[in-house]
Amino acid sequence: MIKLIYNSSINLGELNPCYNIGIMAEEKRSPAGSSFWQIIFPAIAGTIFILLICVWVVIGIGAGNISRFAELSTVLLIIPVLFFSLVILVILAACVVLSVKMIRGLPPITSRIVEFIDKIRDGVSRFSEIIVQPVIRPSAYLKGFRSIFTREKSRYEID
């Protein structure tokens, strides 16, 4: 058990060399300009790209183009639904196949398990009878011996 003494001169850095408060407490600054190129620029570029697509859709829509965009959006919505439905169908088929295999394989396995448990039960009952015999047998002999010399009231009345 380790006891920590608060009024000692033990430095925790010396106790565990992997833990150094001085290094962990330092502020590490990112290189100059990295926050612009890694955060701000991608956010602005993505926003501008989405706005340009919206402007292109609004300008490109005419009297006959609306149905074309409706059909395109319907297809784009249906494709992911079909893909995930196919994945769910494959998972369901796998569950059915595994269930059938499990149902076919369970009776032989369970019969072996039941036989093993029956052997254990029989062994335990024989062992418990053997252990109890030294206690029960002398007691039975003693009661039989006493019944010869003592007269008990009969449980049954003879008329």
What's the gap between Cα 107 and its chain centre? 27
Residue 116 belongs to a domain: yes
Helix (H) or strand (E) holding 49: helix 41-60
Confidence of residue 71 (pLDDT cuts 50, 70, 90): confident
76: in domain: yes
Q: Which two tokens stand for residue 45?
A: 């570029």
Write out the two tokens for 159.
Answer: 């008329």
Going by the DSSP 8-state scheme, the letter that residue 153 receives in this structure is P
Q: What is the mean pLDDT of residues 97-123?
A: 89
Rounded mean pLDDT, 88-116 = 89
Residue 57 confidence (pLDDT):
74
pLDDT tens-digit series, residues 4-29: 454 555 555 455 555 555 555 556 66
pLDDT at position 137: 80
Q: Is residue 113, in this structure, part of any structural domain at all?
A: yes
Does residue 80 fall inside a structural domain?
A: yes
Quote the Cα angle for 153-156-159, to 5°.
105
Over 60: is that where the pLDDT of 132 sits? yes
The stretch 36-56 carries a mean pLDDT of 88
The pLDDT of 39-55, averaged and rounded, is 89
The residue range of the domain holding 108 is 37-145
Q: Taking a C-beta distance cutoff of 8 angstroms, is the pair 77, 89 a contact?
A: no
- Span 120-143, average pLDDT: 86
Residue for token digits 């609306």? Answer: 66
What kind and span of H or E run contains 100?
A: helix 65-149
Query: Within a domain: residue 68?
Result: yes
Q: Does residue 107 lie in a domain region?
A: yes
Q: What average pLDDT does the chain have?
A: 78
When divided into structural domains, the chain yields a total of 1
For 51-57, what is the mean pLDDT? Answer: 84
pLDDT higher than threshold 90 for residue 120: yes
d(CA 2, CA 7): 15
The model's pLDDT over 80-95, given as tens digits with 9 standing for 90+, comes to: 999 999 999 999 999 9
Any domain includes 48: yes
